[in-house]
Structure 1
Amino acid sequence: MTRPFLLSLSFAASLAAGAQTKPEETEFYEPVPKVVNTGKSVLTPVPADAKILFDGKNLDQWVSTKDPSNPAQWTVHDGVFTVKKGTGNIQTKEVFTDYQLHLEWQIPANITGKGQARGNSGVFLAGYGKGDGGYEIQVLDNYNNPTYVNGQAGSIYKQHIPLANANRPPGDWNVYDIVWTAPRFNDDGTVKTPARVTAFLNGVLVQNNAEIKGETRYIGKPEYIKHGPAPIKLQDHGDPSEPISFRNIWIRPL
């Protein structure tokens, strides 16, 4: 006789979770990841079997997320490329399923701002749709910049707190090495197997085979939307701090 009551409680809880209207409702400040010093950066060699997504010369492997028929508008200079504010996200021309991704990113030495407004960007590991659809691993200056811990660099944004804070100071290069296992879906759109992420920041493990709860949401709980192979997307966040740069991006489809 108690089962209908329990089901109604569960249903009410799910409605309440889906009714979240404030971003603060999914922001957490503990536990704070320990700080790990990783020394100075070095340029990582490219494996022989990797596909180069940026070689320091052009953005031929990237397009605008707003309109994938248009080339990426970010600025290439001195062997790197930099977010061009207001042009929107960029994404790879190719789509991928499971892969190993290497990507290096730099917060400018003259960075200003605090919290989330300090060099904010993101890597969407399966970036579908025209906006921020997909699964984001955060890019942000957290060398000496507190914020909610499930939104700092190394986090699966608003899902998984990083296991350590391995950020290098602004002006130096940070390195992501990420293993992405894409979600699989049943024919009816339900999840057959969830996505998983293992990630290293500057050689330090920050995500250990983390199970992804769904696509990234700024407000409310994550949930899955059925999709197939998808591009990798980099975010033009639009905050007022100085734009960040990227270099040496390559991928090994698995």
Structure 2
Amino acid sequence: MTINKKFILGLSLSLAVFSMNSANAQDTRFTKKNPDKPEASEFWDPEVKVVTPGAVPSDAIVLFDGKSLDGWESAKDGSPAKWEVKDGVFTVGKGTGNISTKQHFGDCQLHIEWRSPIEPETLKGQQKGNSGIFLSGIYEVQVLNSYQNRTYRNGQAGSIYKQTPPLVNATSKMGDWNVYDVIYTAPRFTINGGIETPGYVTVIHNGIIVQNHTKIQGMTNYIGQPTNPVHDVKGPISLQDHGNLVSYRNIWIREI
């Protein structure tokens, strides 16, 4: 079988043109991905939201205004919170039970200040200034008088209770105020009850990082290993009545 030389020549030219076009197409794609103008990789819209910083950021939700606990309720039965409010501070009343915010929150930045009472030296360990801050109502960041007061590592102030000890002990002495700034990412669950993404928490205690994007292993149980019940992304912020006269003030939260 003979092959027409003109046909071969035409085919060769067609292939050459196709190759050139392909190369140009590749060059165009490459140029689009790697533009030679700096503005091509700049993003202008939507404009970044403006937040005015300060003692309370302009977009924060104030959870305690120094006057009342109207935004809080009994964690047990939803009745009005019974902790004492006085001089811009509220203090747990022995036997009054845990309290929770009426509003629920997911991922957030929480600012909260707490003070352990001046108690006798006969009290030791977990007996001294014990309370707790519960994220989603179930994950406890420990509140405790850990100033010259030894206890188990994963139960002192700044710990994720019974899970992760703080990196350092930054606790103020009895009667002085402590400041927690907490960044919380709530866990997400699959439709069949598995963990899609775990929860994480960062805790800055008196200006010092004591939990650095720490994975929450599950509920902070007093006895036994952490458990992972499925729950909504949003839940209350709860404060614990552990029988000590722990006080709180200046509480605000930013949803993120």
TM bucket, shorter chain:
0.7 to 0.9
Q: In 2, Cα distance between the equivalents of 1:216 and 1:126?
A: 12
Q: 1:54 aligns with which of 46, 64, 84?
A: 64
Deviation at 1:54, TM superposition (A): 0.4
TM-score by length of 1: 0.77
Secondary structure of 2:63's counterpart equals strand
Q: Which residue of 2 aligns with 1:39?
A: none
Q: 2:99 aligns with which of 83, 86, 90?
A: 90
Bigger relative CO (Cα 8 Å, ≥ 6 apart)? 1
Q: Which residue of 2 aligns with 1:160?
A: 164
- Cα 1:253–1:121 change in 2 (3 A) is same
Q: How high is the sequence identity, in percent, across the aligned residues?
A: 59
Q: In 2, Cα distance between the equivalents of 1:161 and 1:111?
A: 25
Deviation by residue 1:28-73 (Cα, 9 ceiling, x = unmatched): xxxxxxxxxxxxxxxx8111110000011000110011111x1100
Q: How many residues align?
A: 201
Greater per-residue helix proportion = 2
TM-score by length of 2: 0.77
Deviation by residue 1:124-151 (Cα, 9 ceiling, x = unmatched): 0110xxxxxx100000001110000100
Q: 1:180 aligns with which of 184, 187, 196?
A: 184
Q: In 1, Cα distance between the equivalents of 2:109 and 2:142?
A: 17
Q: In 2, Cα distance between the equivalents of 1:223 and 1:212?
A: 11
Secondary structure of 2:162's counterpart equals coil
8 Å CA contact 2:119, 2:128 repeated in 1:
no
Structure 2 spans left out of the alignment, 5+ residues: 1-53
Q: In 1, Cα distance between the equivalents of 2:213 and 2:110?
A: 15
Structure 1 spans left out of the alignment, 5+ residues: 1-43, 128-133
Secondary structure of 1:116's counterpart equals helix
Q: Which residue of 2 aligns with 1:22?
A: none
Deviation at 1:111, TM superposition (A): 5.0
Q: 1:234 aligns with which of 239, 242, 253?
A: 239
Deviation at 1:191, TM superposition (A): 0.7
Deviation at 1:109, TM superposition (A): 2.6
8 Å CA contact 1:140, 1:152 repeated in 2:
yes
- Pairing 1:76–2:76 present: no
Moved over 4 A (4+): none
Q: Which residue of 2 aligns with 1:248?
A: 250
Q: Which residue of 1 aligns with 2:75?
A: 65
Q: In 1, Cα distance between the equivalents of 2:165 and 2:103?
A: 29
The Cα RMSD (Å) is 1.0
Secondary structure of 2:154's counterpart equals helix
Q: What is the letter of the counterpart of residue 230 of structure 1?
A: G
Deviation by residue 1:149-208 (Cα, 9 ceiling, x = unmatched): 100000000111100100010111000000000000001111110000011000000000
Q: What is the letter of the counterpart of residue 71 of structure 1?
A: P
Q: What is the letter of the counterpart of residue 45 of structure 1?
A: A
Q: Which residue of 2 aligns with 1:114?
A: 124
8 Å CA contact 1:111, 1:170 repeated in 2:
no
Select the structure of larger CA radius of gyration.
2
Q: In 1, Cα distance between the equivalents of 2:170 and 2:253?
A: 22
